[in-house]
Structure 1
Amino acid sequence: MGNYLGIVEGEWEDQPHNWKTFFKRWQRSKEKLRFEVIRTEAMSQEDFFVIGRAICGRVQVGDKVLVQVGDKPIASKIMSIDHSVQGDSDAHKGEFHMLIALKLTNINPNSGVIAGTIITHAS
């Protein structure tokens, strides 16, 4: 099973079957976000979304993040999170995953964000 926001590799097997307990553990997670971009979508210059999956950690609207574009990371802030994106994660060919769309400040179609770009929490 793939990684989802707040889920670290291997955690699925030891999670309780009770979802209420599961989400309480998830909310207490102190892992810093590490997000891998799978693709981008631009509705316009202002409506630009990075779509991908969380490798580890969790994030909330308003969190400050760094987008690793080339040699210089771009400081950004999360404006919105959409958990309802579906698609192939490319990391596991043919596997279907729920992906996450992030709308970020200072990021637009000309920012150079491509598949494989890593987004992390700003320290």
Structure 2
Amino acid sequence: MVGRGLDRPFLLLDTAVHDGLNQDMSWPPFWAHLSDWHRCLRLADAGHHSFTDLVAIAPQLPEPVRGTLETGTIPADRAVAAARATVRAFFDLQLRGRPDAGRLLWGASPRYPEIEYVAG
């Protein structure tokens, strides 16, 4: 799949741990072969687990456990809200055909300033 890419819409919501498109070396060839709409957005101050339920429950865990999780420094409520809004905008644009819903997919909005456009 890396060498072929995809022939359908693709959204990557990335972390702010690094600069540029994800540093995993399998991403650039995959990204180069995407033939349909695609977008990479970054969630500021996010870590790998910011896109999971762990970001919301991490504050309740003991510090030794919490310290091992890559949740970044973004507050859990902001991470969850921004991820949900981004996925909703993607589905509204790509599945419902609502181009007005896709504005968030171009980066920061007043409501979600922590979302940054990276590539597309």
Q: TM-score when scaled to structure 2?
A: 0.22
- Larger Rg belongs to: 2
Structure having the larger proportion of residues in helix: 2
Structure having the larger proportion of residues in strand: 1
Q: TM-score when scaled to structure 1?
A: 0.22
